[in-house]
């Protein structure tokens, strides 16, 4: 796996957290995003954290999969 974010602003991605992340954050949906939710990337912070235009996201790029 690369350490560089493979996504760019405007890409559509689906939130697919790892089992490890699900175990650490047992109420992910209470944090404002649903597992399987698709967003269009509006911002990438620190070359890692993806956000939509309405601020959803904030999870590392490795917790997302590209949507075609």
Confidence of residue 2 (pLDDT cuts 50, 70, 90): low
pLDDT in tens, 6-46: 999 999 999 999 999 999 998 998 888 999 999 999 999 99
Where exactly are the structural domains of the chain? Answer: 12-66
Give Cα separations from 41 to 24, 25, 26, 63 (angstroms): 24, 22, 24, 13
Instruction: Say how far apart CA 65 and CA 68 lie, in whole Å.
Output: 10
Q: How many C-beta atoms lie closer than 10 Å to residue 25's C-beta?
A: 13
């Amino acid at each position: 796996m690369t350490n560089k974010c493979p996504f760019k602003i405007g890409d559509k991605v689906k939130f697919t957290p790892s089992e490890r992340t699900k175990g650490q954050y047992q109420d992910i949906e209470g944090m404002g995003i649903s597992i399987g939710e698709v967003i269009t990337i509006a911002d990438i912070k620190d070359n890692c954290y993806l956000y939509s235009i309405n601020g959803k996201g904030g999870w590392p790029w490795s917790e997302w999969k590209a949507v075609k």
